[in-house]
Structure 1
Amino acid sequence: MPNPAATAAPTLEVRGLRTHFHTRAGVLPAVDGVSFTLERGRILGLVGESGSGKSVTGFSIMGLVDPPGRIAAGEIRFQGRDLVAMPAPELRRLQGNRIAMIFQDPMMTLNPVMRVEAQMIEAVRAHSGASKAQARELARDTLGLMGIPSPEERLRAYPHQLSGGMRQRVAIAIALLHRPDLIIADEPTTALDVTIQAQILSEVQRLVRQHGTSLIWITHDLSVVAGLADDVAVMYAGRIVEHGPVDAVLDQPLHPYTAGLIGSLPSLNRERRRLRQIPGMTPDLLALPPGCAFAARCPRASAACARQPELEAAGPAAAQGALRQVRCFHAGQPAATELA
């Protein structure tokens, strides 16, 4: 059950998180000073290209960063308690119980040589004193909550006997077994067809609202975030470059990188025109420029961009009245040649 003393605190507060990987070529800052707050029952979309640091942020929160990676600085406060400073045994009691993760590949959750029921019963009893019969009943009911037909039959199946979409539903059901306070989902629907993806997104959104769970949905797909999230944080080169209510950010992006991501969506391009794209490549994290990491690709870049911009408040979002943040010296100023 949630900690009663911590109910007044946000579900998650990340402050100045830095996760570095120590390689032979040097120190790679995969996450470089990330900060955000997630309130109870809210859904945050964490968006960016491959290598932006979004998945490493999720793994850092879960305490799943393995050597040569390590959290170099910052705080990760879950209901007021700092996970970074927490003793390992106490952290393990939270993992899979109050904090759960859904992986892109369901086979990272599912054991291919165990029946679904054995895995789910084991997951229940690892964090509770439930009997085997009680654990099995909870497993069956949770499969039903995920919209899985014939849950009794699915319990007796092995993972290879299920379709890709069904395996992912089972993996999500395992994450939901203990009704966690925080779920981190790392692109769990990317490999699924759009129909199955839409069904899973709808079910996840309903369950989050029902139970007051906080959710971080990590993705590169802005169309998924548009229909799912309350807020969005856009990451580039290990840093958040824009953060705010999802409708405000997608309707009126302030950072040129966010504008580029939105402009590259096929649905927003005019008929018979070339698909818009962001020029250049993502920078090498082992050799980041001293100033803005996006400057070399940016149509708004100026001499000021030789300095590193801070993530600063950008005024209240229209209609929502919620604060937006952006890391840019030229926020919201269109350039004549911008992603033309």
Structure 2
Amino acid sequence: MSSSAASPSSPVLAVEGLCTHFFTHGGVVKAVDGVDLSVDAGEVLGLVGESGSGKSITGFSIIGLVDEPGRIVAGQIRYLGEPLVGASAQRLRQLRGREIAMIFQDPMMTLNPVLRVDTQMIEAIQAHERVSRAAARARAREVLAQVGIPAPDERLSAYPHQLSGGMRQRVAIAIALLNRPRLIIADEPTTALDVTIQAQILYEVQKLCRDTGTAMIWISHDLAVVSALATRIAVMYAGRVVESGPAADVIRHPAHPYTRGLIDSIPSRETHGQLLRQIPGMTPSLLHLPPGCAFHPRCGRADARCREAPGVTSAGPADAAPADVRRLRCWHPLEEVA
């Protein structure tokens, strides 16, 4: 089915029951275990959690970049109504770069070290469109300027090793924007950037989504960045989404103890000069997850019931749009979601 056949009212991306497992000599690693997500046109979904929570593997699964020994074992991924699980490699190549783009945390996963920046950007455009080299170069120059790169003509003629780490990351972000994709998956793309450039990138991302209807999944461990950017937030822990809802609601009224712990670990004016609170313990090994709620060994509210897996509870007005619904996976929430 072509993506153009999808209903205009359907989400750009819908993920249902996604399970991505890695089959290792030590056992089965359930990196993603029953994840549900959806992103509408013009929306930014913040996917938040500690390292090892399954955020990046969720992004790689959506775009079809999970290598052996990993594979999707269950669930559905639909882009504009088109199923991507089981899609041919040729179809995924057609979508990647043009309609679905990914910004990697390490820019050298995007950039070829032996090709000049202009060669890589021009090829990224001409792989999907019939345009002249001059027109493609002009677009590349425009997008480099858009992400705050000074003297873009000089940068186009440079090799990746001639650029700083922050500059390479901005080039990688620019390449993702080249073909004006309908969906962008951004995996911690501003980690290597200074605060000023980070703010510029966040502004450009919000403007892009607002003006063009681009949908975006912004993967990050930094709730402060996500709260300023995202329309909705989904919090992941040990391969599962434990809380999700409108960004303002999740930040102001977190219901899951893990979400509360992430928020408390962010420095603020109120905590100046004080030791930051931290979540006790460590993220569990995905090879040896505790029974029931995976967070219960670190949770101050846990009891015997938490050794059973909690279901997902939903709350919101009866006529609420899916984007306005709060979802929670916890036996003992900090407050009832409403």
Q: TM-score, normalised by structure 2?
A: 0.93
Which stretch of structure 1 is more off in the superposition, 54-63 or 184-193?
184-193
Bigger Cα displacement from structure 2, 93-102 vs 199-208: 199-208
Residue in structure 2 matched with residue 237 of structure 1 by the alignment:
238
Aligned match of 1:167: 168
Shift of 1:163: 2.5
Give the drift of 1:226.
1.1
Amino acid at match of 2:184: I
Q: Is the 2:6–2:82 Cα contact (8 Å) retained in structure 1?
A: no
Distance in 2 (CA, whole Å) between partners of 1:94 and 1:272 is: 49
User: Superposition pairs for residues 42-61 of structure 1, below 5 Å?
Assistant: 42-61=43-62
Closer, same or farther in 2 for the Cα pair 1:48/1:316, shift >3 Å?
A: farther
Choose 204-213 or 110-119, whichever is displaced more.
Answer: 204-213
Moved more, 170-179 or 269-278: 269-278
Q: Deviations over 1:172-217 (max 9, x none)?
A: 1111111000000100111222222222212222222221100101
Q: CA deviation at 1:291?
A: 0.7
Which residue is 1:130 aligned to? Answer: 131
Task: Provide the C-alpha distance between the structure 2 equivalents of 1:291 and 1:14, rounded to a whole number of angstroms.
Answer: 23
Aligned counterpart, 2:331: 329
Q: Give the Å deviation of 1:137.
A: 2.1
RMSD between superposed Cα atoms in Å: 2.1
Q: Which residue of structure 2 lines up, in the alignment, with residue 302 of structure 1?
A: 303
Partner of 1:338: none
Q: Distance in 2 between matches of 1:93 and 1:6?
A: 21
- Could you tell me whether the CA contact under 8 Å between 1:55 and 1:218 is conserved in 2? yes
Q: 1:221 to 1:89 in 2, by over 3 A?
A: same
In the aligned structure 1, how far is the partner of 2:271 from the partner of 2:265? 11
Q: What is the alpha-carbon distance in structure 2 between the residues aligned to residue 153 and residue 273 of structure 1?
A: 46
Judging changes above 3 Å, is the alpha-carbon distance between structure 1 residues 270 and 77 closer, same or farther for their aligned structure 2 residues?
same
TM-superposed CA distance for 1:333, in Å, is 4.4
State the aligned residue count: 333
Match of 1:100 in 2: 101
Per-residue CA shift, 1:276-322, capped at 9, x if unaligned? 111111112111122111111111112221210122203359x9992
Larger mean CA deviation between 200-209 and 51-60 belongs to 200-209
Shifted more, 203-212 versus 266-275: the winner is 266-275
Question: What letter corresponds to residue 39 of structure 1 in structure 2?
Answer: D
Counterparts of 1:137-148 in structure 2 under 5 Å?
A: 137-148=138-149
Deviates more, 1:93-102 or 1:153-162: 153-162
Q: Which amino acid aligns with 2:244?
A: H
1:240 alignment partner, SS class: strand
Deviates more, 1:129-138 or 1:73-82: 129-138
Q: CA deviation at 1:222?
A: 0.5
Question: 2:233–2:244: 8 Å Cα contact kept in structure 1?
Answer: yes
Alpha-carbon distance change, 16 to 2 in structure 1, aligned in 2, over 3 angstroms: closer
Is the Cα–Cα contact under 8 Å of residues 147 and 203 in structure 1 kept in the other structure?
no
2:259 match: secondary structure: helix
